[in-house]
A and B are shown apart, each in its own frame.
Chain A
């Protein structure tokens, strides 16, 4: 603790921060541009000038940059000193000299940091009378719009893109007052975090291109706190809606999860909500096999008829549906009839991951901790494609060594320029063992490539080396042992080693090996952490409810035991092969699909009922660390987009109300009667927690619907929401009453609480003087730190130590390649592999054509060239793809990107063959 004097007022502050951070944390409005809380100081823009006085007798003082000054005990500064005020206004005047006066047509207008800072400094009149500088803009692909005339050269974009996110294709060119921030030439920004430029840029140079196609000002957006559905990390987001269209996604700061950033899949995957492929009304299959739209009432009655007495009904849940939806489905069909919605490979790996997360030994690292671990070992997981934002956090971890070096030189950590320059070559350690190249290879200390079985063996070798570590190093001739020893040494020397693994490879043995590494580290007295990557946004939530796999569901279906099959938010064709899925759908007498988007499964169902997507529903997801996170409905409710769980409750209600009591199966009747008593999200959560006491966090993770601040709900619409009375003028002359939200403490109105609600229900960041995303500063107790009013305590599934982790099976045999056959392993694409985001046109544009990865030497043997058309056959399944040479892939392997459009689901890893030319089906 230290005392500083700002304009002769004393404040108690923490030391170790830059003066700018200190001032902002005190709530003082010091303007800035080049500084960013996640990227710290470089001293470029000179906007945060304050006056520093030597002591209390010093009356002249000296202008210093707050971002480049240390916070020192007893220091005296002035923000209001006339000279420094004039200097700050002059810096703005310099910046505005070339800035166009195009705010009314600029997408940033109304939430522009440059606007805010200009007003804050009081600069109003421009004296610059010479022509303004202009630039050519570039087409940067489907995500980011480029308008460089607005640039104020704060250098944040290149610092983020290159230094923070590891991108290469955005840079700064030119010199003096002709500085150009862009690509070498027009073209898509390649880095998967490019969308953050939209929030990083303090003005309108980089804006959201997807939002541009249905643009709405910040003040006209209805927003609610939400959670990203496109991977298992569960980044916190703020989706914005107007006129029933989802307009954009913005980051919602969560200190422990995503911090300040999102990946492009999370930011731009939302357009699936607006697509024509959305299910807007129920569909019924008629006798002829065709489909007809029907009223909800009619569809519900058809469903009721199908369910009959309620016996022989099974349900398949979904890892992309909320915990509440899965729970209600489970109660609807009965726990013994409820099945997991993962593929069998994902089920096996994810079940093990859930056990590991629950055991909490070692603990799971938050992303905040991931970024601060000082040694990393990634085993078998292509994190950059399966959990991109985790890759961004991992990328920061290598700086711990850099900090250790610069700490020695007394370079303050906030001096990012100094730290990066001095410590550029002191990074790591960071070890990757995967079967294909990853986008983290550039920061890796070592990279090990091998077939999945050999990765498991490599992990075991590292575990062994850790155990042997105490003994004298056995000099080994074996390359793998030498590599394993290096990994082991680095993990042992670290204070906070981190082991990353996941479900991506489909290999349980890799996870067991990773676990062995952590156990041996713990046995040696180390405190390792883990970061496991399950496949979907609610994989751990779904598996917390069920013990039965989809394979068991198939067995039941094959045994002709099932009358009706209820599938909620799941496309069986993505978790079962075509043959299995068709068989399952044929076997069930009646198939009911609940989904927000039309899928192959919904197309085969007898009854299809539309439900709300994440933007039209509330619920809870459990992320990779076991963190329960509530998301809230953003769009106003409509009958066709009701919450999936509510749809099920409604059906139960109708059946109970309308059916002859005697006609129902007893257990079904009791289940449905109980469900019919539930009305709100809170009711479901209460029931869920009663059934699963270990999931108490689901209840604690957000305030209940009854929560009020000063008697008010939190307003989803900002105070400056315009057009309220005229929005529906084409339909009615009345202003309709806002819908009531019984599920959350938020309302669909601009009337309500607009201050700083608990972190879990912050619908937007906005503060006086601060209209841009930078207003987040005002919501944090300490700038860069957690949000004020954060619910105390960890929101993690309570560790259940009694849950044993299954014994590791014996290590797999070392991989040996076969002649004429290849081991096909799954690959993932950030843009393309995930089901929902790929429905978003801009993401689809970035997804690759179906391909098969093959090592150049294997390709040579087969006389295949890059781009050649080939057919990969796995059993009966033939996939037509293009050849992509991948020098990192081990010989004997083929890499098939799972989930890409036009690549059918196959169980991987599996042995297959490859032949030139398109598949027979396609040829015919």
Chain B
């Protein structure tokens, strides 16, 4: 089982230095690309590898890059922006990658920038990721000092500047257009769907926004070829994935595994199974904003397509398990209070609907629930659903709620009839 993204991590948790990274073959892909490949070749390799974006939506990275228009159609500069504002509850995979091997990310960024002929790249990183920031800055310094960044990269004539921007921190910055607004110094509010960022993104110029994990895959694809990459997974979607598990399991953590393993394997083998005396009653495949699934779906492949079919989303691939000793209404309240707090306040259903949802769940948890509250919550899952709000935040917030309402309807009702939480 190959683990290209994590195999070189040092066991002591220190970041690989440039020297160490080079010793394990780092920047070979870059040297090869700048010497022998054209931007189109690079793009072609990524397209052929069918690399799906690891930010949560699974949009093919190659197809995104291909949308960047020709230079004679749109003016320079053009940008590559890396979303390192990892704020999905339960998700910490990008931190894992940045802290342990920052050069791997930097190499991926340079390759992506070369493919789309970008002039400037920015890592938009979460404020709390102090260690990752420090390590990235150190690595970027090393890269500049060794002609891996700057005006003439590896004497190829290709130039790129890379900058770390520390985010002021909002969940909505995970929405790539809100991220761009924030980068421009504005309020982090999602942008209109047209024009696309690849045509007019940051400061109105062509911009590619990708997740950290996506970028980390690029050097390996270039170095080893698309065919190798297609063979890594155990699914028809290629590559490996950083999966994670949190909740009442024995060994919560994150592991690089072939894309398409099952949640059962993940939870039972890698996370060591449930705490003793705890039974898994539901699980989220990819972070807080994904639908809860029942235990009978633990054997479905965890890839983008299969999770969709199962009625949820792969999202970030970090599983959250819900056990029988935890109140599902409390879980819902916990999640919704997060989403209500993180709403950007732009569109009505999200801004007004999420706090209302949160208040209803709080009332249920604290014995103030009333008949009709569950129906109201159900109504909200429709009113805040896809297409009705400006971006995907509120629909994402409704996914866990609607599934919990469906799976644990009786428990919700008990909160009203018993005037309080039976788990307390």
Instruction: List A residues at the B interface (Cβ < 8 Å).
Output: 42-47, 49, 62-64, 68, 87, 90-91, 94-95, 97-98, 127-130, 152-153, 155, 172, 174-179, 405-406, 408-412, 415, 417-418, 421-426
* A62-B345 in contact (CB<8A): no
Residue among B193, B195, B348, B356 with the highest chain A CB neighbour number at 10 A? B348
| Known A46-B347, A176-B342, A422-B200; contact A411-B355, beta-carbon cutoff 8 A | no
* B204-A422 in contact (CB<8A): yes
Please, how many angstroms separate the alpha-carbon atoms of A153 and B352 in the complex? Answer: 10
* B194-A415 in contact (CB<8A): yes
* B192-A175 in contact (CB<8A): no
Please, how many angstroms separate the alpha-carbon atoms of A62 and B387 in the complex? Answer: 8
Please, how many angstroms separate the alpha-carbon atoms of A804 and B422 in the complex? Answer: 94
* A421-B204 in contact (CB<8A): yes
* A175-B352 in contact (CB<8A): no
Query: What residues on A are CB-neighbors of B347 within 8 Å?
Result: 43-46
20 more contacts with CB within 8 A, not counting A176-B340, A179-B351, A418-B193, are A44-B348, A46-B347, A49-B388, A63-B388, A87-B388, A94-B383, A127-B372, A127-B376, A176-B344, A176-B345, A177-B340, A177-B355, A408-B73, A409-B195, A415-B192, A417-B191, A418-B194, A421-B181, A423-B204, A426-B204
Residue among B193, B341, B346 with the highest chain A CB neighbour number at 10 A? B346
* B348-A410 in contact (CB<8A): no
User: Which of A43, A46, A130, A411 has a CB less than 8 Å from the CB of B356?
Assistant: A130
Residue among A46, A128, A152 with the highest chain B CB neighbour number at 10 A? A46
Closest A residue by C-beta to B362: A130
Closest A residue by C-beta to B187: A172
Docked complex: B328-375 residues within 8 A CB-CB of A: 340-349, 351-356, 359, 370, 372
Docked complex: B159-207 residues within 8 A CB-CB of A: 170, 181, 187, 191-195, 199-200, 203-204
* A418-B191 in contact (CB<8A): yes
Please, how many angstroms separate the alpha-carbon atoms of A210 and B145 in the complex? Answer: 65
* Contact sample, A vs B, 15 pairs, CB 8 Å cutoff: A44-B390, A49-B388, A87-B388, A94-B348, A94-B351, A128-B356, A176-B344, A176-B355, A177-B351, A409-B195, A410-B195, A418-B192, A421-B191, A422-B195, A424-B203
Residue among B187, B342, B376 with the highest chain A CB neighbour number at 10 A? B187
Query: What's the minimum C-beta distance from B383 to chain A, rounded to whole angstroms?
Result: 5
* A46-B204 in contact (CB<8A): no
User: Which of A42, A63, A411, A422 has a CB less than 8 Å from the CB of B387?
Assistant: A63
* A406-B195 in contact (CB<8A): yes
Query: What's the minimum C-beta distance from B80 to chain A, rounded to whole angstroms?
Result: 18
Query: What's the minimum C-beta distance from B76 to chain A, rounded to whole angstroms?
Result: 13
Query: What residues on B are CB-neighbors of A417 within 8 Å?
Result: 191-192
User: Which of B199, B345, B379, B387 has a CB less than 8 Å from the CB of A175?
Assistant: B345
Question: Is B389 an interface residue, CB under 8 A from the partner?
Answer: yes
Number of B residues with CB within 8 Å of any CB on chain A: 39
Please, how many angstroms separate the alpha-carbon atoms of A336 and B264 in the complex? Answer: 104
Please, how many angstroms separate the alpha-carbon atoms of A415 and B191 in the complex? Answer: 11
List the 6 shortest-distance A-B pairs measured between CB atoms, nearest first. Answer: A422-B200, A418-B192, A94-B352, A409-B195, A179-B345, A417-B192
Please, how many angstroms separate the alpha-carbon atoms of A130 and B352 in the complex? Answer: 12
Query: What residues on B are CB-neighbors of A44 within 8 Å?
Result: 346-348, 390
Query: What residues on A are CB-neighbors of B352 within 8 Å?
Result: 94-95, 97-98, 177
Please, how many angstroms separate the alpha-carbon atoms of A797 and B388 in the complex? Answer: 52
Query: What residues on A are CB-neighbors of B348 within 8 Å?
Result: 44-47, 91, 94-95, 152-153
Query: What's the minimum C-beta distance from A59 to chain B, rounded to whole angstroms?
Result: 17
Please, how many angstroms separate the alpha-carbon atoms of A45 and B353 in the complex? Answer: 12
* B203-A94 in contact (CB<8A): no
Instruction: List B residues at the A interface (Cβ < 8 Å).
Output: 73, 170, 181, 187, 191-195, 199-200, 203-204, 340-349, 351-356, 359, 370, 372, 376, 379, 383, 387-390
Query: What's the minimum C-beta distance from A698 to chain B, rounded to whole angstroms?
Result: 47
Query: What residues on B are CB-neighbors of A405 within 8 Å?
Result: 200, 204
* B390-A409 in contact (CB<8A): no
* A97-B356 in contact (CB<8A): yes
* B343-A177 in contact (CB<8A): yes
Query: What residues on B are CB-neighbors of A43 within 8 Å?
Result: 192, 347, 390
Query: What's the minimum C-beta distance from B255 to chain A, rounded to whole angstroms?
Result: 35
* A409-B344 in contact (CB<8A): no
Please, how many angstroms separate the alpha-carbon atoms of A46 and B320 in the complex? Answer: 32
* A94-B342 in contact (CB<8A): no
Query: What residues on A are CB-neighbors of B359 within 8 Å?
Result: 130
Closest B residue by C-beta to A171: B187
Query: What residues on B are CB-neighbors of A49 within 8 Å?
Result: 388
Residue among A177, A409, A418 with the highest chain B CB neighbour number at 10 A? A177
Please, how many angstroms separate the alpha-carbon atoms of A172 and B170 in the complex? Answer: 17
* B192-A94 in contact (CB<8A): no
Please, how many angstroms separate the alpha-carbon atoms of A97 and B73 in the complex? Answer: 48
Query: What residues on B are CB-neighbors of A172 within 8 Å?
Result: 187
Please, how many angstroms separate the alpha-carbon atoms of A409 and B170 in the complex? Answer: 30
Please, how many angstroms separate the alpha-carbon atoms of A152 and B348 in the complex? Answer: 8
Please, how many angstroms separate the alpha-carbon atoms of A421 and B181 in the complex? Answer: 9
Query: What's the minimum C-beta distance from B354 to chain A, rounded to whole angstroms?
Result: 7
Please, how many angstroms separate the alpha-carbon atoms of A42 and B193 in the complex? Answer: 11
* A91-B194 in contact (CB<8A): no
Closest A residue by C-beta to B370: A129
Query: What residues on A are CB-neighbors of B200 within 8 Å?
Result: 405-406, 409, 411, 421-423
* B194-A175 in contact (CB<8A): no
* A153-B390 in contact (CB<8A): no
* B170-A90 in contact (CB<8A): no
Closest B residue by C-beta to A127: B376
Residue among B203, B340, B347 with the highest chain A CB neighbour number at 10 A? B347
Closest B residue by C-beta to A84: B388
| Known A45-B347, A179-B345; contact A410-B388, beta-carbon cutoff 8 A | no
Please, how many angstroms separate the alpha-carbon atoms of A411 and B353 in the complex? Answer: 30
* A409-B194 in contact (CB<8A): yes
Closest A residue by C-beta to B344: A175
Please, how many angstroms separate the alpha-carbon atoms of A63 and B349 in the complex? Answer: 14
* B345-A177 in contact (CB<8A): yes
* A46-B349 in contact (CB<8A): yes
Query: What residues on B are CB-neighbors of A45 within 8 Å?
Result: 347-348
Please, how many angstroms separate the alpha-carbon atoms of A152 and B347 in the complex? Answer: 10
Please, how many angstroms separate the alpha-carbon atoms of A897 and B346 in the complex? Answer: 43
* B345-A153 in contact (CB<8A): yes
Closest A residue by C-beta to B390: A43
Query: What's the minimum C-beta distance from B362 to chain A, rounded to whole angstroms?
Result: 9
* B390-A46 in contact (CB<8A): yes
Please, how many angstroms separate the alpha-carbon atoms of A63 and B348 in the complex? Answer: 15
* B389-A46 in contact (CB<8A): yes
Please, how many angstroms separate the alpha-carbon atoms of A153 and B390 in the complex? Answer: 14
* B192-A421 in contact (CB<8A): yes
* B204-A153 in contact (CB<8A): no
Query: What's the minimum C-beta distance from A537 to chain B, rounded to whole angstroms?
Result: 40
Closest A residue by C-beta to B181: A421
* B379-A90 in contact (CB<8A): yes
Query: What residues on B are CB-neighbors of A127 within 8 Å?
Result: 372, 376
* A425-B204 in contact (CB<8A): yes
| Known A90-B379, A90-B383, A177-B340; contact A410-B194, beta-carbon cutoff 8 A | yes
Query: What's the minimum C-beta distance from A243 to chain B, rounded to whole angstroms?
Result: 40
Query: What residues on A are CB-neighbors of B341 within 8 Å?
Result: 176
Please, how many angstroms separate the alpha-carbon atoms of A179 and B372 in the complex? Answer: 29
Query: What residues on B are CB-neighbors of A129 within 8 Å?
Result: 370
Please, how many angstroms separate the alpha-carbon atoms of A81 and B225 in the complex? Answer: 53
* B356-A153 in contact (CB<8A): no
* A409-B199 in contact (CB<8A): yes
Query: What's the minimum C-beta distance from A875 to chain B, rounded to whole angstroms?
Result: 52
User: Which of A63, A64, A98, A176 has a CB less than 8 Å from the CB of B354?
Assistant: A176
